[in-house]
Amino acid sequence: MSELKPGDGEIYPPEAEVGAGAAARAYWRENLTLMGILLAIWFVVSFGAGILFRDWLDQFSIGGAPLGFWFAQQGAIYVFVVLIFVYSALMGRLERKYNMSDDDAA
Amino acid sequence: MDSTLIWTAVFVISTFGLYIGIAIWARAASTDEFYVAGHDVHPVFNGMATAADWMSAASFLSMAGLIAFAGYDGSVFLMGWTGGYVLLALLLAPYLRKFGKFTVPDFVGDRYYSQAARIVAVICALFVSFTYIAGQMRGVGIAFSNFLHVPIEVGVIVGAIIVLFYAVLGGMRGITYTQVAQYCVLIFAFMVPAIFLSLQITGTPIPQLGFIGNAQDGTPLLQGLDTTLVDLGFQPYTDGSKSTLDVFAITLALMVGTAGLPHVIIRFFTVPKASDARRSAGWALIFIAILYTTAPAVAVFARSNFIETVNESTYAADLAPEERPADATPDWFYNWEETGLLGFTDLNGDGRIQYRADPAENEVTTLDRDIFVLANPEIGNLPAWVIGLVVAGGLAAALSTAAGLLMVISSAVSHDLCKKVLLPDMSETQELLVARTAAMVAVLIAIIAGIYPPGFVAAVVAFAFGLAAASFFPAIFLGIFWKRMSKEGAVSGMSIGLLTTGAYIIHFKIGFSPIVTGVVALVLALAGLVLFIGTRTGGRGSMPVLAGSGLLGLVGLLGVTGILPGLAPGRADDWFLGISPEGFGAVGMLLAFAVSISVSLATKAPPQDVQDMVEEIRIPSARTG
């Protein structure tokens, strides 16, 4: 994700907005980090556990189902749901921290 | 009239009445209400509406049966059609909501400061939505003809009129609240038989637990099914037959395609705020997951139960029900034989049904996959009203998806094409009129496609998801996360993604016969013409576009009249790296990404105001543009 570098024609913001610009960049960086972590989990439970490492995981079982198979047909979906709510909650916190929340309550 | 028929009629008529009632209550008066339900839908309601929008007749009726036959291979649909919501919630929905406009082409057009990009997006949206809607209308017709004993044509027309009524009257507002009702109908209709089936087969009322639980004889259900299937010559249920790469590619294409489908994306324009869009995607996935984690359980129950009760049973259709012996084929088998969804041929003449993998010995000669959802109430010995409920649920699933698609088609024509490109001086009243007319025309086309299903209906999944994955997803994603992405990058990426994926799917699913080549060329010619008219500035347009369009039109005419030589459909051996057409969207997407990025780097950076807009949509609290 290449940000625009100084000298690429970007007009420097006036003094008052420099602080806000830095906050926006910090906010965006934290958002991208969080996103990266959650998408890594997303990848591991579906493409990892359900597809690439399924055969290895199948030696374990959950109840009467082989674990890899279970991840592909059940487990991945449960994790997906959790991921979205975790992202939503953590982003809410992040936005309050940087005073960027769109929630009226904040 | 038997009681099943009466109950079915009661449920179908009362739910249809409910949908119409909601439509009258929620009718739209402004374009804001018509396109995005006034941006005031509660995130939980939007979640339900999205779930209904998303789950089509295929999810409701066919998916469990599909998995029952495919076993592990069926996982691609389960992961693919749910995992996309993670991408949507994290990467697209909040930013698109923040952008604050009406449609997906709106975003593409504004972000890429180009009418050409907008028009290419409109063409992609129309293409994806029309493919998908044809399958839905067909589903409505089949549900009607099987249960209410009316011809498929009548079913298609009745269904279309209902959808038309609330889509035209209520726009997005009407559709949203009818979809909420439809979700309730369809999830109830799916869960009731599933719970009873789970109780009957595994002793637990929760299908998800039954899935990993034991059969009544104490052995793990899945293990028992694997053993039984191997004995009958099938491959084990928990094993797949597809290559790992193919499973990977299909799952990826379905996930990315889900995130890029315009009728799903526009649902997130209806909530009040960007943070609501994230939350709403979570709710949508919960509502979807209820069905999607139950379906694989139903698949196992149904396949196990089918083998246990039907295989080696004594066929006794000629005897009265009370005279049938203890080991007779169950009653529901004879009922479904009449519909043609099940068929028995006594090959070895022993009066018993042998269900085998080997076609030379298999006596269950017809076994429609939809049977495993449709026959569940009877298999579970549930009362007649449950069957009526399942039919109403299937119709709810088909109608809600059709309505969502209709909305995309109508807004693409009225808002993106007419208002933003061809007739910018239109008033709001005129725009609403065009939107409603476009919806009506789209329904007419859908009716025709439902009555005379074109060959591509069978390839709907491959088309809709592959095209969405290869055209919209890269353009929207890069538009948000890479400020440097230029209009040239977007237009070339979307076009290459659409054309390569489309060509691959047509070649391997349908084949470029003269008529197919002709129709494709004509469609592209029409698209080129719209592009020419739409990008004209000061009365002058791009001559190469006009010339190309004319040439395609000529090829189209030659094709349709049969003068052009045809090309036979491709064989599975020739698949690129062994990737099936369903999975090719993943390849198309990578290609689109590569093309978009390299073309963007080779062209001028976007103007400052566009880069500022990208900065702004990244911050939820910033002033909405």
List Cβ neighbours of B72 (8 Å cut-off, separation of 6 or more): A69, A72, A73, B237, B238, B239, B240
B552: amino acid identity, one letter: L
Does residue B266 sit within a domain? yes
Q: Where are the domains of chain A?
A: 22-97
List Cβ neighbours of A81 (8 Å cut-off, separation of 6 or more): B282, B285, B286, B289
- Distance (Å, rounded) from C-alpha B46 to C-alpha B169? 19
Tell me the pairing of strands B342-344 and B364-367. antiparallel
Q: What is the pLDDT of residues B377-404, one digit of tens each?
A: 887 778 878 888 888 888 888 888 888 8
Strand partners, B540: B537
| Tokens matching residue B189 | 């209709």
Nearest CB among B79, B279, B608 relative to A88 is that of: B279
Q: Number of A:B CB contacts under 8 A?
A: 156
Q: What is the pLDDT of residues B442-470, one digit of tens each?
A: 888 888 877 776 655 556 767 788 888 99
Handedness of CA B468, B473, B479, B483 (dihedral sign): negative
Write out the H or E segment, with its range, that includes residue B242: none
- DSSP letter for each residue of B514-571: HHHHHHHHHHHHHHHHHHHHHT-BTTB--HHHHHHHHHHHHHHHHHHTT-SPP-PPPP
pLDDT at B359: 82
Q: What CA dihedral angle connects B330, B332, B335 and B340, to 10 degrees? A: -100
Does residue B258 sit within a domain? yes
- Distance (Å, rounded) from C-alpha B402 to C-alpha B412? 15
Q: What are phi and psi of B241, to 5 degrees?
A: -110, -15
CATH code assigned at B425: 1.20.1730.10
- Distance (Å, rounded) from C-alpha B142 to C-alpha B150? 9
Task: Tell me if chain A has a CB within 8 Å of the CB of B252.
Answer: yes
How many angstroms away from the CA of A80 is the closest CA of chain B? Answer: 6
Cβ atoms of residues B497 and B511 within 8 Å:
no
Residue A43: list chain B partners with CB under 8 A.
none
CB contact under 8 A, A74 and B481: no
How many angstroms away from the CA of A82 is the closest CA of chain B? Answer: 8
Does residue B535 sit within a domain? no
List Cβ neighbours of B77 (8 Å cut-off, separation of 6 or more): B63, B66, B67, B254
CB contact under 8 A, A2 and B484: yes
Strand partners, A61: A66
Residue A89: list chain B partners with CB under 8 A.
none
CB contact under 8 A, B605 and A51: no
- Distance (Å, rounded) from C-alpha B269 to C-alpha B274? 9
Domain ranges, residue B39: 3-301+385-456
Helix axes A76-97, B274-310, angle to 10 degrees: 170
Residue A97: list chain B partners with CB under 8 A.
none
Helix axes B584-602, B487-505, angle to 10 degrees: 160
Query: How many of the other CB atoms lie within 10 Å of CB of A60?
Result: 10
- SS3 at position B227: helix
Does residue B502 sit within a domain? no
How many angstroms away from the CA of A16 is the closest CA of chain B? Answer: 16
Residue B89: list chain A partners with CB under 8 A.
84, 87-88
ipTM metric: 0.87
Going by the DSSP 8-state scheme, the letter that residue B319 receives in this structure is S
Place of tokens 């299908």: B207
Residue B293: list chain A partners with CB under 8 A.
74, 77-78
pLDDT at A4: 45
Going by the DSSP 8-state scheme, the letter that residue B582 receives in this structure is G
- Distance (Å, rounded) from C-alpha B86 to C-alpha B110? 25
List Cβ neighbours of B349 (8 Å cut-off, separation of 6 or more): none
* Helix, strand, coil in percent for chain A, rounding step 5: 70, 5, 25
Q: Which of B55, B66, B73, B86 to mutate to test the interface with A (most CBs of A within 10 A)?
A: B86
pLDDT at B455: 58
Task: Tell me if chain A has a CB within 8 Å of the CB of B535.
Answer: no
Residue A81: list chain B partners with CB under 8 A.
282, 285-286, 289
pLDDT at B509: 75
CB contact under 8 A, A101 and B221: no
Cβ atoms of residues B85 and B390 within 8 Å:
no
pLDDT at B459: 63
Q: Which of the four pLDDT bands, split at 50, 70 and 90, describes residue A15?
A: very low
pLDDT at A34: 92
Q: What are phi and psi of B288, to 5 degrees?
A: -70, -40
Cβ atoms of residues B152 and B143 within 8 Å:
no
Nearest CB among A77, A88, A100 relative to B82 is that of: A77
Nearest CB among B90, B212, B622 relative to A65 is that of: B212
Task: Tell me if chain A has a CB within 8 Å of the CB of B85.
Answer: yes
- pLDDT higher than 70, residue A5: no
Chain A residue nearest residue B226, CA to CA? A65
Q: Which of B40, B54, B72 to mutate to test the interface with A (most CBs of A within 10 A)?
A: B72
pLDDT at A3: 46
Cβ atoms of residues B289 and A78 within 8 Å:
yes
- Distance (Å, rounded) from C-alpha B488 to C-alpha A13? 28
> How far is C-alpha B439 from the geometric centre of its chain's CA atoms?
19
Cβ atoms of residues B502 and B617 within 8 Å:
no
Does residue B308 sit within a domain? no
Residue A95: list chain B partners with CB under 8 A.
275, 620-621
Chain A residue nearest residue B221, CA to CA? A64
> How far lies B134's CA from each of B455, B460, B471, B523, in Å?
11, 9, 21, 17
Strand partners, B343: B366
- Distance (Å, rounded) from C-alpha B268 to C-alpha B280? 8
Select from B562, B471, B446, B458 the least CA-distant residue to B505. Answer: B458
CB contact under 8 A, A72 and B79: yes
Q: What is the pLDDT of residues A24-45, one digit of tens each?
A: 888 889 999 999 999 999 999 9
Select from B275, B122, B335 the least CA-distant residue to A89. Answer: B275
CB contact under 8 A, B286 and A81: yes
> Which residues of chain B, if any, have pLDDT below 50?
1, 623-625
Chain A residue nearest residue B242, CA to CA? A51
pLDDT at A1: 42
Q: How many domains does chain B have?
A: 1
| Tokens matching residue B325 | 């012996």
Q: What is the pLDDT of residues B494-547, one digit of tens each?
A: 889 988 888 888 887 777 777 777 777 778 878 777 777 777 766 666 777 778
Chain A residue nearest residue B207, CA to CA? A74
